[in-house]
Each structure stands twice: as structure tokens, then as C-alpha cells.
């Protein structure tokens, strides 16, 4: 999109952007235009400090709520309602599914119209506002108004089957969140002491059962992974999305990040990359299933 990427390390308690580091970055770099904040794995990542910093410096805040539907940011607000834009995913492994797909939310009318056009091949007729339609029609009188393409676009419109499935789950979402949270709290209480347990659980909407080593220990990590694999327990190492993105080829191939010291630049993220993993959590996961998983982990 023509923007220059910046990366900021996370806090272990939230698995999200460190507010102090972000504040320092925004104050020192006047070119920061937007912050993409992920509410990772059902934990609230948006602090009052981060929100106010973005507002004060006129920085667009984009909330990624893809795996954290229903997270409570404060007493009145849920994740996705504070940012200038927010995105939700309905991938089949997330809190609720439409088989595939997702949603973007915004209160900004210009962004709303642009996104409506963007999702439908960039066609003007996808916009709802009369003013924006008139503006383009007058500017391009040689074009058929039904086929004015305002921007390169996509074909990502939802379908009726996906919508029916999603609406059906929406009725049960709060109930599913309660069950997910109970599973995670039960899991954390019974984890061995070498695992990190001090997550910020206030307002959570748990997505996954996290296992992060408190201290770097390659031997312990190897034993843990082998034990899970031998017992056919699926896990994802390095947390979601392949761990530290600075180590991924699509970033590493950029000249700016080619020689960056990942461990020094983002020590918390890098620690989770090597010494963190998560296991699936879902509403139908029984306590007896969790006990079986814990038995394997505690045997290490």
C-alpha cells in the first residue's frame, strides 16, 4: 500500500503492543500515520494509554479483533468499537465462523464508502452515498455510471449461506465466550510453575490455551513438543501467525529488516517465538480433555 512498516515489541501479559514503547515511538517519529493493534488470542490489548496516545497525535487506530470476538475493553466497550477501523475474522477456527470471511467496522463515512467499493471490484455502484456517486459521475461523464471503477478492488462479498451460519452462532457467542474463559482459567491454574501464567484476564474472550516458558530453555521446549506430538495433541509453536514476523521471509526480504537483530529488537516477541505455543480451545472442550492435556504437560 506504499506505507513504510515499523515494528514494536509486545507485553507478555497482553501479547499486544507495549504501550510505553508505542508512546515513545509516536512522540519521536512524527511520520507515524496508523497503528495496527492486535487483540491477540482473546486478550484485551488496547489500554487507555494507547487509545489516548493515538487520539492526541491524530494517528489512525486499527483494531484487529480477528481471534478475540467479545473482548471487553472497558465497562462499556468491546474490542473493535474504539478504533477508527476494526476487523473481525470468521475463519472456521475462530470464535464464530461463516466458513471463511470476515468483517470491517468503522464509524467514518468516507472509509465506509471506500470499503464497500473495494470489496466489490472497486465499483462505484457498491457505494451507498448519493454525494460520492454524483461526484464521480460528473467527473467521468464518458463512463456508464453502473460501471465506474474507482479503485483496484476485490471480490470479497459475503454469501447467504455464510451469513445464516454466522447469525446462528451470534446468538450463542456470549455463552461460548464464558465456556472458553472457564477452560483457560482451569488450564492456567494447573500448569506447572515453569509456565507463564500472569496474563491479563480482565475482559478476556479466550481463543487458545497458552503455554509460554518463563525462562529460555531449549531442552524443555523440545521435550514438551515431543510429548504433545507423541500423544497426538495438536499445537502451534511461536503463537499465531508464525511467531516473530521479523523472522518471516516476507519481512526479512525487505532491505530495512534484512539484518535486524530480532532478539535485541523485540525480546518478548522473540522469546514467545522460540519458547511459546498454544493449544486449541473451544466451547465443547471438556474438563476431562483438558486434564488429559495437562497430564502430558505436567509429566515433562
User: How would you write the pLDDT of the chain (300 residues) with one tens digit per residue?
Assistant: 788 999 999 999 999 999 999 999 999 999 999 999 999 999 999 999 999 999 999 999 999 999 999 999 998 999 999 999 999 999 988 999 998 889 999 999 999 999 999 999 999 999 999 999 999 999 999 999 999 999 988 998 788 999 999 999 999 999 999 999 999 999 999 999 999 999 999 999 999 999 999 999 999 999 999 999 999 999 999 877 789 999 999 999 999 999 999 999 999 999 999 999 999 999 999 999 999 999 999 999
On whether residue 39 sits in a domain, the answer given is no
Written as one string, the DSSP assignment of 229-297 is: HHTT---EETSGGGS-GGGSHHHHTSGGGTT--HHHHSHHHHHHHHHEEEEE--TT--HHHHHHHHHHH
CA atoms of 133 and 127, how far apart (whole Å): 7
Q: What is the pTM of this model?
A: 0.92
What is the CA angle 207-213-217, rounded to 5? 145
Answer yes or no: are the C-beta atoms of 168 and 131 closer than 8 Å.
no
What is the bridge-based pairing of β-strands 85-89 and 60-64? Answer: parallel
Domain housing 227: 173-298
On whether residue 34 sits in a domain, the answer given is no
On whether residue 12 sits in a domain, the answer given is no
Same domain, 186 and 263: yes
Answer yes or no: are the C-beta atoms of 42 and 68 closer than 8 Å.
yes
Same domain, 123 and 182: no
Torsion angles phi and psi, residue 63, rounded to 5: -95, 125
Torsion angles phi and psi, residue 38, rounded to 5: -100, 125
Answer yes or no: are the C-beta atoms of 204 and 179 closer than 8 Å.
no
Same domain, 264 and 151: no
Nearest to 96 by CA among 67, 123, 118: 67
On whether residue 4 sits in a domain, the answer given is no
On whether residue 196 sits in a domain, the answer given is yes
Same domain, 199 and 134: no
CATH, residue 293: 3.90.1150.10
Domain count, the chain: 2
Same domain, 147 and 188: no
Sheet holding 276-280, edge to edge: 208-212, 276-280, 236-237
Interior/surface letters 250-266, b for 16+ CB within 10 angstroms, e for the rest: ebeeeeebeebebbeeb
The three cell numbers locating residue 247: 523472522
On whether residue 207 sits in a domain, the answer given is yes
On whether residue 202 sits in a domain, the answer given is yes
Same domain, 214 and 144: no
Which three-class secondary structure state does DSSP give residue 217?
coil
Amino acid at each position: 500500500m506504499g506505507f513504510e512498516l515499523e515494528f514494536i515489541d509486545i507485553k507478555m501479559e497482553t501479547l499486544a503492543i507495549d504501550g510505553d514503547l508505542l508512546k515513545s515511538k509516536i512522540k519521536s517519529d512524527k511520520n507515524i500515520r496508523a497503528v495496527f493493534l492486535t487483540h491477540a488470542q482473546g486478550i484485551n490489548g488496547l489500554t487507555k494509554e494507547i487509545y489516548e496516545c493515538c487520539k492526541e497525535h491524530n494517528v489512525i487506530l486499527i483494531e484487529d479483533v480477528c481471534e478475540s470476538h467479545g473482548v471487553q475493553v472497558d465497562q462499556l466497550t468491546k474490542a473493535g468499537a474504539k478504533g477508527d477501523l476494526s476487523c473481525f475474522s470468521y475463519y472456521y477456527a475462530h470464535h464464530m465462523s461463516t466458513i471463511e470471511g470476515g468483517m470491517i467496522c468503522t464509524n467514518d463515512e468516507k472509509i465506509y464508502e471506500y470499503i464497500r467499493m473495494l470489496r466489490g471490484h472497486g465499483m462505484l455502484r457498491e457505494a451507498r452515498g448519493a454525494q460520492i456517486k454524483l461526484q464521480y459521475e460528473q467527473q467521468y461523464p464518458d463512463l456508464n455510471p453502473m460501471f465506474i471503477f474507482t479503485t483496484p478492488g476485490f471480490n470479497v462479498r459475503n454469501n447467504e449461506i455464510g451469513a445464516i451460519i454466522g447469525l446462528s452462532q451470534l446468538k450463542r457467542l456470549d455463552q461460548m465466550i464464558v465456556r472458553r474463559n472457564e477452560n483457560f482459567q482451569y488450564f492456567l491454574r494447573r500448569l506447572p510453575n515453569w509456565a507463564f501464567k500472569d496474563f491479563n484476564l480482565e475482559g478476556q474472550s479466550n481463543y487458545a490455551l497458552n503455554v509460554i516458558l518463563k525462562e529460555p530453555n531449549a531442552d524443555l521446549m523440545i521435550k514438551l513438543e515431543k510429548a504433545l506430538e507423541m500423544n497426538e495433541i495438536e499445537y502451534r509453536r511461536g503463537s499465531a501467525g508464525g511467531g516473530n514476523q521479523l523472522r518471516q521471509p516476507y519481512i526479512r526480504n525487505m532491505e530495512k529488516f534484512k539484518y535486524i537483530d530480532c532478539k535485541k529488537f523485540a525480546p518478548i516477541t522473540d522469546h514467545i517465538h522460540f519458547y511459546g505455543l498454544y493449544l486449541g480451545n473451544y466451547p465443547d472442550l471438556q474438563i476431562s480433555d483438558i486434564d488429559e492435556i495437562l497430564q502430558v504437560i505436567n509429566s515433562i
